[in-house]
Structures are given as structure tokens and as C-alpha cells.
Amino acid sequence: MLKTVGFRTLRRRIRENNCVFDTADLALRRAGALLRVRQAGRLATLTYKGPAVPGKYKSREELEIEISDAATGRAILERLGFRLVFRYEKYRTEYTQPRAPLKGGGIVTLDETPIGCYLELEGGPRWIDRTARALVFTESDYITASYARLYQEFCEARHIRPGDMLFAGKVRRERPRGRASSGVSPR
């Protein structure tokens, strides 16, 4: 479907390992913020995400830097008093429309997670709505919840005790659900 509406692969499918850190009293979670170390292939990043701005789209401050390796990033955060509170894995493929940047384009990511597949539309509100319609999604399909929240809801619905959201076996492909994101990244 993505190819039929002009999208091309920007970054090939890669497995991501994500570690979310917080204080002992979960101050970041209570504030709606996130501190994460991600390993995606050879690339390791440290990310801070601020509280989301309420609305139809998920918009929040995002600060991210590349780090030498994920293990060192995790060790530094632990030495600073943060603790690992949640791990999650996913496969991510990124897509773009080659001519779209001239028209206020964005990025589409396909995330294959242990609880299902999601398309994330990251761009301006008009681009998100236009792209969602082209991909046969409606506003009622928009999800702005974090993967941690989606995992918690998944476990609650199945009466499973939540732990980490990790792959147990082979990843199956299915039709993705939509995620609308209008991130704020100071660059």
C-alpha cells in the first residue's frame, strides 16, 4: 500500500532494543516524560521525550544524541541513579515520499512489535491527515499512546502480568494500526 501512494524505503527493516529509565519513584513517568537508550543495529542513541501536548496528534519535545554504545549509556544512567523500568523490542522500517518534502512531507515508520504492527505518521497535521486518508485510515484509527501504555492495555485485556515487551518467537506480519505523531525536535 505504501508504494502505491508514492512511498519508498528510506531505512531498511532493523531490530531495535529499547531500555526505558526512570527514578525510583517513577518521577519521569508521572510527568509524562521518557528517558531511553536505544540500540538499532550499530547505532545507539540516548533520548529524552518531554510530556505530550494533549490533542489529536502526539506532539512532544524530543532530544536525542548518538552515543558510543548502548551498554555504556545504560551504565551512565544507572550511575546517575536512574533505573531500568521497561524494555521493549520492535522491528522498524522507515518510508518517505521522495517529492513530498516540497509539500510539507513527513516520515512513515512501520513498527512490528510483540503486540502488533503499527504505522507511525510523523509530520505536520495536514500531512498526517492527508497521508492517513491515502492509506485508508480514519481519525478514529489514530493512536497517540506510547508503546508502554499500549503494552499495558494489551496485558490487561488478556489478564497477563506485564513485564517487558520482548519477542518470544518468530515475528508475524499483519496489517498495521495507525499512530499519528507530530514530534517537536529542535534541530
SS3 (DSSP) at 14: strand
CA 20 to chain centre: 12
Query: What is residue 54's predicted lDDT score, i.e. its pLDDT?
Result: 87
Angstrom CA distances, 184 to 19, 42, 151, stand at 21, 25, 24
CA nearest 49: which of 61, 39, 37, 31?
61
pLDDT in tens, 79-95: 999 999 999 999 999 99
**DSSP bridge partners of 93:** 110
Return the amino acid letter for 143: I
Query: What is residue 185's predicted lDDT score, i.e. its pLDDT?
Result: 36
Report pTM: 0.85
- CB-CB neighbours of 182 under 10 Å: 20
Query: What is residue 97's predicted lDDT score, i.e. its pLDDT?
Result: 87
Return the amino acid letter for 117: C
Query: What is residue 91's predicted lDDT score, i.e. its pLDDT?
Result: 98
The span from the CA of 160 to the CA of 151, in Å, is: 10
Per-domain boundaries in the chain: 3-181
Return the amino acid letter for 163: G
Return the amino acid letter for 50: G
* Mean pLDDT of each 10-residue bin along the chain, 187 residues long: 90 97 98 97 97 91 97 98 98 87 79 96 92 93 93 96 88 54 41
CATH homologous superfamily of 3-181: Hypothetical Protein Pfu-838710-001 (2.40.320.10)
pLDDT in tens, 148-185: 999 999 999 999 999 999 998 654 555 566 555 544 43
